[in-house]
Amino acid sequence: MIRCTFAHVDLDALESNYRALEAFLASHTPAGRRPPGIVAVVKANAYGHGAAPVARALERAGATMLACADIEEGIALRQAGVEVPILVFGALSVSDLEGLFEHRLTPTCSTPGAGRALQAAAARHRTVLPYHLKIDTGLNRLGFRHDNLERTLPELFASPNLRCAAVYTHFATADDPSHPLFDRQLERFAAARAFLAARGLGPVTTHAANSAAVLRAPGTWFDSVRPGLLLYGLAPGPFRDVLALRPVLSLRSRVVAVKNIREGESVGYGGRFVAPGPRRIATVPAGYADGLDTRLADRGAVLVNGRRVPVVGAVSMDMLAIDASSGPVYAGDEVVFLGEQAGDRITVTEMASWIGTIPYEILCRLGSRIERRYNRA
């Protein structure tokens, strides 16, 4: 049995976006300098697109490194046949570190505790482990505080089995051109790099730019950039027109039932939608267990037969209802939640705006029972 609700993932579009980004970086890099490398972010199941096929496609496209959230994600990529270096972003001080060595993963060191744990593990393996050093310049999650490095870093740098291969930071407000924190973080990162250089840390790879920073500020590119959302065809809010991208994922289903209801009758749990007149209601087999937000009720729409059809009544676990009164709709008709049909398109950004969230959440919430279908392996 194949569920009729599925996500189509266009790997050609993914690779096209990678090449478009590569060309953008090359065209905006000063003459005589090498364009930055691309660390392709594939955490959270490649933003809901499917980590293994996406990672293999990005590796083919030329990504110099992939990045994931934790060791378990990195192991899954190696088991899928990925060979390119893999950076692990997450905290490691309470993790089982054996996977780093067995699967050739590059850890982030972001706390003194993580440094001690990594040193002990590397000593047990009788190896020198390269790591990326994360500096906290204002996001205030993980990372060595930019203003406390003289106190916190000596122990890490004295670790005989660890080698700092790169230094990086992460921006909190890159997608908000009016927020002053972005420039403050960049200044703090410059000061931290100067501190590290003065204390003998030789030239190492430097990276800082997430998707928004890539489009906003070439001064943040350094040796590598770390795009995530851009690769999947979405540019952060104020930078949507900077780079031509192709959406990678569409979400589709089919109508499974249609019925007529009378004026005053309600639809769905709670009776929230009450028909103001005779209505033709179609049922679609997708709900919040598939990652469709309950706030789409009476706010969102889908495409059916080239028309926008509103979602009405409560979004339930396994299905939702649409008001199909505006034209012919029959069982078996295609329903598009995200994607194009007959010249119209519902984008991830538009769906996010309906419910007051961000595009990242729309993509990452797509459920595990949603089959991902790829146009190629």
Residues designated as active site: 43, 269
Tokens for 190, please give them.
């410059």
Asked whether the beta carbons of 156 and 162 are under 8 A apart, the reply is yes
SS3 letters across 194-254: HHHHHCCCCCCEEECCCHHHHHHCHHHCCCEECCCHHHHCCCCHHHCCCCCCCCCEEEEEE
Give the number of C-alpha atoms closer than 13 A to the C-alpha of residue 270, restricted to the C-beta side: 9
Tokens for 3, please give them.
């569920």
Beta bridge partners of 346: 339
| Rounded Cα–Cα distance for residues 280 and 291 (Å) | 25
| Rounded Cα–Cα distance for residues 335 and 228 (Å) | 28
Q: Are strands 301-304 and 162-168 parallel, antiparallel or unpaired?
A: unpaired
Closest CA to 192 of 143, 232, 142: 143
Closest CA to 293 of 364, 373, 233: 364
Beta bridge partners of 257: 283
Distance of CA 155 to the CA centre of its chain: 34
Residues 342-351: contacts with CB within 8 Å, 24+ apart?
342/303, 342/305, 342/306, 343/306, 344/303, 344/306, 344/308, 345/247, 346/301, 346/302, 346/303, 346/308, 347/234, 347/247, 348/234, 348/247, 348/249, 349/234, 349/237, 349/240, 351/296, 351/300
